[in-house]
Chain A
Amino acid sequence: MAALIEIERLTKRFGAFTAVDDVSFTVARGEVVGFLGPNGAGKSTTMKMLSGFVTPTAGTARICGKDVVDDPVAAKRSLGYLPEGAPTYPEMTVTGFLDFVARIRGYRGIERKERVEDAIDLTQLEGVRLQPIETLSKGFKRRVGLAQALLHDPPVLVLDEPTDGLDPNQKHEVRQLIRRMAPEKAILISTHILEEVEAVCTRAIIIAGGKVLADDKPSALTPTDKTLEEVFRELTVPAQPEAA
């Protein structure tokens, strides 16, 4: 079966600086891929290109076979995307915001209400549904962002730091949610938290200086005498001066 996420020689240059350098990988249904790397490694830029927000300098990406540059609207229909920092409209209520996203995604009538309710259930936002988003804590805001990405039950999920700003209990819940959804979806998550990779990911990709340095199962990346953290440091510390 074809991979749901296909990234092919993706490159992004900002002036003389190459943020993402010839990155290729695929994610198949049932895989949860952890995207690791130091700050400025090109994780977010790669995800922004995959979501169709940033136009690649070279290369391309496909979501469920739809090219994000040539057929962006079709590609975005199959994608649930949580941008970095989980941006949402602060003056809207949680339900109002999710209803807006559901409308844009083309749901009408009862189905729209059901989608919004399901997303609220899934991310446990029941208690704050009528609150303006700006009055919510960081953890709730992140979950509103997550609810927006899950609303249409997409085959592909791209989550940029989904657990950032959550407390340990909330992190646990989000990881369980990801694990529950994993069998039917292709999921790409970026994170700084290495234990998270070991907890939920079936594969880890380590990127630094815009290049993929490692791509394997978490267990295969870590020889018996080393932790994932040691492997991460070994791979990415020499690459740091170049990125800075």
Chain B
Amino acid sequence: MAAFTVARRELAGYFATPVAYVFIVIFLMMAGALTFTLGGFFARGQADLGPFFTFVPWLFLFLVPALTMRLWAEERRLGTIELLLTLPLPQWQAVLGKFLAAWAFCAIALVLTFPLVLTVNYLGNPDNGVIAAGYLGCLLVAGAFLAIGASMSAMTKNQVIAFVLAVAVCFVFAVAGSPIITEFLSQRLPVLAEVARAVSITERFNSLTRGVIALRDVVFFASFMGFFLFLNAVVIDHRKAD
């Protein structure tokens, strides 16, 4: 499938520039530092990765848009979008290919946090099923943020704008289910409070980190990504030549 060819090229492109190394190093350093300091990994006296999983979505909130901001913006700047979209592949495959590359990259970054898993297994007897579910949750959150970031990148030639828009939109979905927002809404617009709870990424992520892999949550993430990738394809189709 052409999407995999596009993904292969993109993924190699990450490692051809310092982007990949900076991303991975910063992610690993911050994830480690936050887990052991703010997260109180040792002080809690519990053999799990709870503190780590608490911080991953917030790290992704800033790092994932940094990854996606160049997805389409860079193609526009270089003019290669014209090359890519005049090759004989359906446009949706180009969209999917770029997304898959970025997602695979996030998966690599997550795999590299394995020393945490080793540490917690050395120190105690954690439930590794819960940890696996937590990692699945991280991957799904990364996918959701990537899909948002990719569609924001499609809208502009300017990478800074793409980054800021993506952070803003990701933030909205990250905090939509938080008590501050839902209480505020339920007092004034009760209908919207339900909507906010329903589209919240954080709530679903939290239940995954508790080890609950509910089909409805997985379906939610899949359709969330599907929606934003569809948006991405529509934007590219309408604005590719601008």
Contacts and interface: CB of A to CB of B under 8 A. Distances in A.
Interface in B1-52: 2, 5-6, 9, 12-13, 16-17
B86 interface: yes
Interface stretch (A24-32, A100-108, A195-203, A219-227): A100-108
A144 to B, nearest CB: 11
Nearest to B87: A104
Interface in A83-124: 83-85, 87-92, 96, 100-101, 103-106
Interface string A47-59: 0100111110000
Sorting the interface of chain A by its residue count into under 10, 10 to 19, 20 to 34 or 35 or more gives 20 to 34
Contacts of A92: 9, 12-13, 16
B119 interface: no
A87 B79 contact: yes
A101 B84 CA distance: 9
A91 B241 contact: no
B89 A87 contact: no
B14 to A, nearest CB: 10
Contact of B88 (A55, A77, A85): A77
Contact of A73 (B5, B17, B89, B241): B89
B79 A85 contact: yes
Given A53-B241, A89-B9, A91-B13, A104 B82 contact: no
A76 B240 CA distance: 17
Q: Which of B5, B12, B79, B88 has the most CB of A within 10 A?
A: B88
A35 interface: no
B172 interface: no
27 contacts: A48-B241, A51-B82, A51-B86, A52-B85, A53-B85, A53-B240, A55-B241, A73-B88, A73-B90, A76-B86, A76-B88, A77-B88, A83-B82, A83-B83, A84-B82, A87-B78, A87-B79, A89-B13, A91-B13, A91-B17, A92-B12, A100-B5, A103-B5, A104-B5, A104-B87, A104-B89, A106-B88
Contacts of B241: 48, 53-55
A138 B239 CA distance: 28
B78 A90 contact: yes
A61 interface: no
A147 to B, nearest CB: 12
Given A51-B86, A87-B79, A101-B87, 20 more contacts: A48-B82, A48-B241, A53-B85, A53-B86, A53-B241, A73-B89, A73-B90, A77-B88, A83-B79, A84-B82, A87-B78, A89-B80, A91-B16, A92-B13, A100-B9, A103-B2, A104-B87, A104-B89, A105-B88, A132-B16
Contacts of B9: 89, 92, 100
A79 B241 CA distance: 19
